Amino acid sequence: MYDQCDLALLLGVSESAMSHQLRLLRDHRVVTRRRAGRVAHYRLADGHIRHILADGTRHRLERGSAATDGTPQDPVGEVAG
């Protein structure tokens, strides 16, 4: 679990921006929040969300290594342009 300040620092965004993004993620049930006094801790909502995130991360890393010439790729894997 991470708190809002840690996430903002890790991602290099303002705490205000992180708060806004976490609110959207909570509203869409992507993350859950647990309060401990004045600090709120966040985590991914469930195993399905973790699986989707892990798959997306692996896919991005694969595509990043495949497109070594700097040519942008479209979302379905075809070379753009």
The 10s digit of each residue's pLDDT in 43-58 is: 999 999 999 999 999 9
Is residue 26 a part of any domain in this protein? yes
Are 46 and 35 in contact, with CB atoms under 8 Å apart?
no
In a domain? residue 71: no
Each residue's pLDDT tens digit, 57-66: 999 999 876 5
For residue 14, the enclosing domain spans 2-66
Q: What is the pLDDT of residues 71-81, one digit of tens each?
A: 555 444 444 43
Q: Report the helix count and the strand count for the chain, using DSSP H and E.
A: 3, 3
Do the beta carbons of residue 42 and residue 3 sit within 8 Å?
yes
Report the alpha-carbon distance of residue 21 to residue 30 in Å, rounded: 11
Query: Residue 21 falls within a domain, yes or no?
Result: yes
pLDDT attached to residue 12: 95
Residue among 42, 38, 16, 12 at smallest CA distance from 27: 42
Give the CATH number of the domain where residue 32 resides: 1.10.10.10
Query: What's residue 64's pLDDT?
Result: 73
| pLDDT score recorded for residue 25 | 96
Q: Whole-model pTM above 0.75?
A: no
